[in-house]
């Protein structure tokens, strides 16, 4: 069975040592996960594997024979295929036409043989049990997940040289996928492995790696730290190898007790809205209230209603003793800030600068005489928040699209904190960031809590929800059914409560 060995691969970019004597082996018939923080060297290693870059020292070998360096076409001939998170399909073409972008169209009498083209595309889809996808359908009719599966199936179309791909490199393939789409991808990965292919799976999503991988390699600061069979490692070991820190250090402890006798900073009474029924809760300064529940329980609806993005049907909301406004812009100005779960589609203007994104909800604070913008003050505030959030940037004018996922998330935090909020709503605050950025974001959240900022937190990551929250309110069918302290709470115990059919309703939290 084929295998590719990295032997003492090193690569330097100016003063930065991107890779330092990295050695490990990729084999067919298994899923090999590659993990590491941003800057660990994963992207550089993949570029070398793809023939897009050359190592300074070291080499690649296929079945013991040294491979030429920096020749992408030869890597493809060697049976390697690369599946990226950004697919860029040609929207005006059909599924089959997109599948044939890397191949010569079959012809008959000098014309495109559309019947053969669609038949070959359909056969490739069938090999991965994707017969439900019609090769004649417009590619634009498919979601991102199915478009990725089509891209994978396209590699199974016979090439002119008769070579069959055996190693698939998947770089953050589930970054833009829903849970259901991810499940379909995992089914395809299982099918590829059964057919003898190998998968190099690059991801920061720990549950995925622990679920589908056979071996796990960890890089840190350009160095190879470990390659272990999945059965010999776990989340604690992987995090330690990635960061040099233990999982027990992930959630900073509260340094001082909550001031439970203080007046609530946020009070919600009898709130009803679309997807919500008779919500009652209160939040004290510095308190972190987790909102837990199954999908569709109403967590997102609660945050949207508090923000003013959804219309209230009844009930009252007070912030610092004053009625909360009903328009999002006014809510921000009043002292309630929000970090959305989707930073690209709901949070940041990716083509705009960090500075423009940070000051966006606070423009009235930076205006002089009601008409002129205080650019100097905007830049100063952006730089102050960049320091507080450990946002790594070239300058405040850097475009957000150029930032890593972790730094994009920190830009969202910087924007929220620029308004000095009393209450901060966090919707999946560490979604799509690596473990190093998580450490930083958890430190920020705990620091804000110690400074008296109250927070409402939703997260599908149960350790995160338990590790950060002081209390967790459990939602069911648009109601807050139960509120529990997190001391001694386990993931299993919390999940069991999610599934219980609550008999109570309208609980005050």
The pLDDT score that the predictor gives to residue 258 is 78
The pLDDT score that the predictor gives to residue 506 is 47
The pLDDT score that the predictor gives to residue 490 is 86
Name residues whose C-beta falls within 8 Å of residue 272's C-beta, 6 or more positions apart in sequence: 278, 279, 312, 313, 314, 315
Q: Quick check: helix, strand or coil at residue 138?
A: strand
Nearest-angstrom CA–CA distance, 197 and 189: 9
**How would you classify the pairing of strands 312-319 and 266-273?**
antiparallel
The pLDDT score that the predictor gives to residue 162 is 61
The pLDDT score that the predictor gives to residue 434 is 80
Give tens-digit pLDDT for 132-160. Answer: 999 999 999 998 888 988 988 898 887 76
Q: Which residue has the tokens 């990729």?
A: 26
Split the chain (509 residues) into runs of 10 and give each run's mean pLDDT. Answer: 94 91 97 90 94 95 92 88 81 94 89 94 90 94 88 83 82 80 89 94 89 96 96 91 80 79 91 92 94 86 91 92 92 93 86 91 72 78 92 90 89 93 94 84 94 93 91 90 87 82 48
Cβ pair 405, 431 in contact under 8 A: no
Give tens-digit pLDDT for 301-311. Answer: 999 999 998 88
The pLDDT score that the predictor gives to residue 370 is 57
Nearest-angstrom CA–CA distance, 9 and 222: 10
Q: Quick check: helix, strand or coil at residue 507?
A: coil
Cβ pair 418, 381 in contact under 8 A: yes
């Amino acid at each position: 069975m084929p295998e590719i060995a990295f032997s003492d691969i090193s690569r330097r970019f100016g003063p930065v040592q991107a890779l330092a004597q990295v050695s490990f082996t990729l084999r067919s018939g298994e899923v090999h996960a590659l993990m590491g923080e941003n800057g660990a060297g994963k992207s550089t290693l993949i570029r070398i594997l793809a023939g897009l870059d050359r190592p300074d020292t070291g080499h690649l070998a296929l079945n013991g024979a040294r491979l030429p360096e920096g020749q992408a076409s030869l890597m493809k001939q060697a049976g390697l295929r690369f599946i990226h998170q950004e697919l860029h399909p040609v929207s005006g073409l059909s599924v089959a036409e997109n599948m044939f972008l890397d191949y010569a169209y079959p012809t008959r009498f000098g014309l495109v043989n559309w019947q053969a083209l669609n038949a070959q595309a359909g056969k490739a889809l069938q090999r991965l049990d994707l017969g439900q996808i019609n090769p004649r359908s417009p590619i634009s009719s498919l979601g991102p997940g199915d478009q990725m599966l089509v891209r994978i199936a396209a590699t199974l179309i016979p090439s002119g040289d008769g070579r069959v791909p055996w190693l698939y490199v998947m770089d953050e393939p589930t970054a833009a996928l829903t849970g259901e789409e991810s499940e379909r991808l995992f089914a395809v990965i299982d099918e590829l492995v059964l057919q003898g292919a190998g998968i190099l799976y690059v991801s920061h999503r720990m549950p995925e790696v622990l679920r589908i991988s056979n071996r796990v390699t960890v890089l840190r600061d350009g160095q190879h730290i470990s390659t272990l069979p999945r059965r010999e490692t776990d989340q604690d070991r992987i995090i330690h190898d990635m960061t040099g820190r233990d999982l027990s250090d992930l959630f900073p402890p509260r340094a001082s007790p909550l001031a439970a006798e203080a007046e609530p900073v946020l009070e919600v009474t009898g709130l009803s809205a679309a997807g919500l029924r008779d919500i009652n809760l209160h939040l004290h300064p510095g308190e972190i209230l987790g909102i837990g529940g199954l999908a569709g329980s109403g967590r997102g609806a609660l945050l949207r209603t508090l923000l003013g993005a959804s219309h209230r049907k009844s009930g009252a909301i007070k912030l610092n003793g004053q009625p909360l406004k009903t328009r999002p812009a006014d809510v921000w100005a009043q002292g309630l800030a929000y970090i959305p779960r989707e930073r690209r589609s709901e949070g940041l203007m990716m083509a705009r600068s960090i500075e423009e994104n940070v000051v966006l909800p606070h423009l009235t604070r930076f205006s002089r005489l009601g008409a002129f913008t205080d650019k100097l003050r905007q830049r100063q505030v952006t730089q102050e928040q960049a320091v507080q959030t450990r946002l790594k940037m070239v300058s405040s004018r850097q475009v957000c699209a150029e930032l890593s996922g972790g730094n994009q998330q920190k830009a969202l935090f910087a924007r929220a904190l620029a308004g000095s909020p009393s209450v901060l709503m966090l919707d999946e605050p560490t979604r799509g960031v690596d473990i190093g950025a998580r450490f930083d974001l958890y430190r920020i959240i705990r620091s804000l809590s110690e400074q008296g900022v109250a927070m409402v937190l939703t997260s599908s990551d149960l350790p995160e929800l338990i590790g950060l929250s002081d209390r967790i309110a459990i939602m069911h069918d648009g109601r807050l059914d139960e509120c529990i302290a997190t001391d001694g709470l386990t993931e299993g115990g919390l999940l069991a409560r999610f599934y219980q059919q609550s008999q109570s309703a309208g609980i005050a939290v």
